[in-house]
Structure 1
Amino acid sequence: MTPPQSAKEAPPPRTETPRRRGYGAVMKFIRRLHMYLGLLVFPWVLLFGMSGALFNHPEIGRDIEQRDLSAAELATLTGMKPWDPEDIAQKVVAQLNAGSPGGYVLDSGAPRSFSGWPLLATPARSGGRHVLIVSLDGGGATVSTHAPEPKSDPPPFAGATVDLPGYKMAAVQEQVKELLPKLGIDAEAPLRAHPKAHPELRFRVRDANARTWNIVYDLSTGRVDGRPAGPGQLRFVELLEKLHTTHHFPIHGDMAWFFALFADITGITLIVWALSGLAMWWQMKPTRVLGALAITVAIAAAALVMRGTASEIQFGNVRGDGP
């Protein structure tokens, strides 16, 4: 039996236009970029992801015992009762109006609420510390007992001060006090050393017993401190948090410079992931409707949460005292 003509002949291959070939090449590049950037920085993504979660959950990786106290328990033990933010705000406004002609009234459209951490702490007799966090409006509290911190032998020179007048920030301040006027820059006052920025000189020494010490010399105060050379003193979770908050490219160049570099690359990668993910999603036509719905929900939720959090962060005077 002779097969029909349609079964004998395969359909002719679809010819690709130059435009379609170019589109395919671009999408291939995007997929490769998405993949290889992820492979390049996956340790850094893990680092920032894990350490970011640790900030919200400080009990992870630490020996902390917690006990919750209800409002009734706290009132029975201490006599403390919940505070009413409305009542306190009224009292504050009344005091302001008593001392000035401001004529202030509470804004009925803005809620009255507490912010910050009502935290009290004391050392534990066995080492460590006890921490009490109070809910001012709820009346309850949480008592936490933190285990003692790992200890090492204190350096014999701890607290010593070495005065080198020519090698202190005060000397730098004196030398550059006329710099801005000479550069034609209008300044209200001479340059001053920042009170919180303390550059350091770091080096190692060996004592008479051949023990090695890491020395830190504060170039602002002249104070000497340090610790025995060797493994660090921080717990693993604390080290992750320190790494997470390490930022800026150091002036004098060390391994932290490369850390800052990879932090930048990780940030760029996250942006590329977001944009390339959108491109790859759009390429898959069956998922466009559901994906568009997901993106809409994501943008709306992010806008709501970010705007609300930004409003809370900037509610008071948040101007810093940096240079």
Structure 2
Amino acid sequence: MAPLETIDPPVTPSSDAASPRPTSRPLSRRVMHMVRRTHLYVGLFLFPWAILYGVTGFLFNHPTVLADAPTAHFSRADVVGTPLEFAPTPQEQATAVLAALNDQQKPAAPYRLATGGAHYATRESFVANVKADARTFFVVYDPKTASGTIRETTTRAVGEKAPFATATGDAPRQRGMGMGGPMKQNHAGVKVEDSIVERLKTAVPTIMERKGFPKGEVTVTTSPDVKFPVEADGQLWTATYNPITTTVSGAAGQEQSELTARGFLLRLHLSRGYPGEVTTKWLWAVGVDAMALILCFWGVSGLLMWWQIKATRKAGRLVLALSAAAATALALGVGMYAVLAA
């Protein structure tokens, strides 16, 4: 009888032999993992800033959206029957100017138009201010499209004149809305002995000299108002004094903010710079810097993340090429350079 064959029990490998030792990921993969996580979380953190800049940028481009004052758009059809229906072109105006110069100066060789067409420069639109009783408006007219916008700029209702008021003061000056040169002193204003404007005019040449700039004549063109409460005849007023115009105006009652929702958003968009001390505005400036840096990081990290996905590389190259061509030719090249340099 054949001996029984003994079967050895299966050998169970040790855990050390069965499980391969974990190897650390390559440095490039760890770096990309960190880039993706950073791209994600900084995007979440700066989400409010991104939305704010998007919304406020849209408001700048569309003045009738969320309007805080009566606003209307007019088109070419609205100028029919007015002198603007057949407004002279830049070329026609240039011809008329040269004819007037030749008639006035009578040069030996008459001036004539050289090669190259006439065009509008410096800015694209005309701006007109309209005063209608106690209300004020500004009208923006685009000569190329014969269209534009009308917007009321009245900031406060006309009430009782303060007993100490010397004038109604200048209307608020808004960027890009028909700002008519430097503010000027009013003959009926209040002249104080210690004027900060005079101090500024005296100090600026010294400051410029210390920084290596030449001295020159100083004209202070813009200044903030000084607001303060005044009690007159038993009534509370809010006085407004402008150091340049030297006018004093007043409004009954305590100071009230005239900042509308639209104005608040637009001023947030334009708010910039670090004040001399740590304040809320200083912290906002930190957010602005962070947003600027993160936008650059988003662009670079987005490129790295795109390159990691091989299936998208071909289409991505095409998109990048189109983006670079459009940005260079339209925004930074031909388009914006022609507008800004004109």
Identify whether the pair has TM-score above 0.5, normalized to the shorter chain: yes
Partner of 1:250: 275
Find 2:72's aligned residue among 57, 61, 65. 65
Report the CA distance shift for 1:100/1:256 in structure 2 as closer, same or farther (over 3 A). farther
Question: What amino acid is the match of 2:338?
Answer: S
In structure 2, list runs of 5 or more residues that go unmatched: 1-18, 168-188
* Alpha-carbon distance in structure 2 between the residues aligned to 1:149 and 1:24: 59
Q: Distance in 2 between matches of 1:226 and 1:259?
A: 32
For 1:267, which of 267, 272, 292 is the aligned residue? 292
**Alignment-derived partner of residue 312 in structure 2:** 287
Q: How does 1:53-92 map to 2 (within 5 A)?
A: 53-62=58-67, 63-70=70-77, 74-78=79-83, 80-92=85-97
Q: Tell me how far 1:30 sits from its aligned partner.
A: 1.2
Pick from 114, 125, 146: which aligns with 2:120? 114
Q: Is the 2:201–2:220 contact (alpha carbons within 8 Å) kept by the matching residues of 1?
A: no
Q: Which string of whole-angstrom CA distances, capped at 9 and with x for unpartnered residues, describes residues 85-134 of structure 1?
A: 333334445667865979775334xx543352133342356846373625
Offset at residue 240 of structure 1 (A)? 1.1
CA RMSD, 1 decimal: 4.0
- Equivalent pairs, count: 291
What is the alpha-carbon distance in structure 1 between the residues aligned to residue 298 and residue 42 of structure 2? Answer: 8
Aligned ranges for residues 120-135 of structure 1 at < 5 Å?
A: 120-124=128-132, 127=135, 129=137, 131=139, 133=141, 135=143
1:179-216, Cα deviation, whole Å (9 max, x unpaired): 666x5x665436x65522426666x5474779585x66
Q: CA deviation at 1:232?
A: 2.5
| Distance apart, 1:288 and its partner CA | 0.9
Can you list the C-alpha shifts for 1:64-87, whole angstroms capped at 9, x where unaligned? Answer: 2334342xx635344841423333
Counterpart check, 1:26 vs 2:31: yes
Contact 1:217/1:224 (8 A) holds in 2? yes
Q: 1:38 to 1:163 in 2, by over 3 A?
A: farther
Q: Which moved more, 1:152-161 or 1:250-259?
A: 152-161
- Taking structure 1 as reference, are residues 240 and 176 closer, same or farther at Cα in structure 2, changes over 3 Å only? closer
> TM-score with structure 2 length normalisation?
0.67
How far off its partner does 1:305 sit?
1.6
Q: Percent identity?
A: 23
Partner deviation per Cα, 1:196-246 (whole Å, 9 max, x = no partner): 2426666x5474779585x66545555556766566212211221122122
Q: Residue 189 of structure 1 aligns with which residue?
A: 215
Q: Deviations over 1:136-167 (max 9, x none)?
A: x55x4456464965648678355586644335
Deviations 1:229-264 (A, max 9, x none): 566212211221122122222245532222222111
Amino acid at match of 1:311: A
The 1-side partners of 2:195 and 2:129 are apart by 39
Q: How far apart, CA to CA, are the structure 1 residues paired with 2:309 and 2:28? A: 14
3-state SS of paired residue (1:165): coil
5 Å-filtered alignment, 1:217-256, equals: 218-220=242-244, 223-224=247-248, 229=254, 232-251=257-276, 254-256=279-281
Secondary structure in structure 1 of the residue aligned to 2:316:
helix
Cα distance in structure 2, aligned partners of 1:187 and 1:45: 39
By how many angstroms is 1:311 displaced? 2.5
Distance across 1 between alignment mates of 2:309 and 2:244? 60
- Tell me how far 1:40 sits from its aligned partner: 2.6
